[in-house]
Amino acid sequence: MGSHRRRLAVSGFDRGACAALSVLSAAAAALGAVSAGPAAAAPHGDTRAEVDRLYEEAEQATEAYNKADERADALRRQVSDSQDLIARQQQRVNSLRETLGSLAGAQYRAGGLDPAVALLLSADPDDYLDKASVLDRITAHQAGQLRELQGALREVAQERAEATRKLAELERSRAAVARHKKTVEQKLARARQLLNSLPDAERAAYERTSRSGRTAIPGLGDEFGSGVPASGRAAAAVAAARAALGKPYVWGANGPSGFDCSGLMQWAYARAGVHLPRTSQEQRYAGRQVPLSQARPGDLVVYRSDASHVGMYVGNGRVIHAPYPGAPVRYDPVGMMPISSVTRV
């Protein structure tokens, strides 16, 4: 029925411009305290700590952005369904109006004479009475048609009001995400500026040790957990994640040319035929949580208390993850930052 649809346009709307305002408000409040402008020179240790903090806040914002994007997809589907329904209902209204117009014209023409006079003038009184009976039935049918039309008009009005509400929500979300996106980009740009201010050797050392500067958890090596994936789908997801090594970090992206952390997990498991939610917070509950000591390749390792980062355990005390802008998808020690939970999909 799409060809009959009257589209309700959302100007300037794109995939990235979408949000659930409650999600964005909390994230924006957390982000607003950090300025994106230049700062006074700081010792190199402080610089690295500030870069860590900026990346962490930007990643929190990215996951909120991803959640908003998922919400917008659902809203767009709802709007599309509403538009299809409105088009079908409008066709029904038009058909009812045409039918009622024909019946009304016939009734007027047939009812133009007084029934008694029409009976006197009729060459065949029995034929007249038959016609009058038919006219009575048509009138009753017409009344039913009128009631049906009234109901159809009410349904169209309700659907139009609901579609208008959903479109207004999309517009509000678009404006909120535009502001939110700008904040994230400023933080990422500031982090890159600080990194570039470090001497080459320190910058290289930072890149090697990832954001937190942590190393592998002591004792976690070949004997950590099991080197065998827990299932065939986990093995397929690990193979897909390895195929993404070297791809750039792109915030808000879920492949195949670029990824953010949760986007990489979603993409890798999709290659294994498994649909994961979009955000790291939701991915945390996409399976059964297991102790870190029992981690197996394919398990999702979720970091920080707010679950704002996620990687995939691949054995030997390492994860594959999309670290941050400027760093490609790569291996890092599983203990590179505080671990919140391990999820077996």
Catalytic member of 44, 141, 275, 321: 321
Residue 243: is it exposed, middle or buried by C-beta count within 10 angstroms (0-12/13-18/19+)? middle
Instruction: Quote the CA–CA distance of 189 and 242 in Å, as a whole number.
Output: 28
Query: Alpha carbon 179 to chain centroid distance?
Result: 18
- Is 321 one of the annotated active-site residues of the chain? yes
Among candidate residues 292, 301, 107, 331, the one with its CA nearest the CA of residue 208: 331
> Phi/psi of residue 309, each to 5°?
-140, 150
| 3-state helix vs strand vs coil in the chain, percent to 5 | 60, 10, 30
- Is 4 an annotated catalytic residue? no
* Angle separating helix axes 125-197 and 44-110, nearest 10 degrees: 170
Beta bridge partners of 288: 344
- How far lies 216's CA from each of 102, 105, 136, 149, in Å? 82, 87, 89, 71
Q: What is d(CA 330, CA 242) in angstroms, rounded to the nearest whole number? A: 8
Of residues 4, 180, 261, 275, which has the active-site annotation? Answer: 261
Is 18 part of the annotated catalytic residue set? no
Tell me which residue of 192, 322, 338 sits closest to 258, measured CA to CA. Answer: 322
The whole-angstrom separation of Cα 57 and Cα 184 is 8
- Catalytic residue numbers read 261, 309, 321
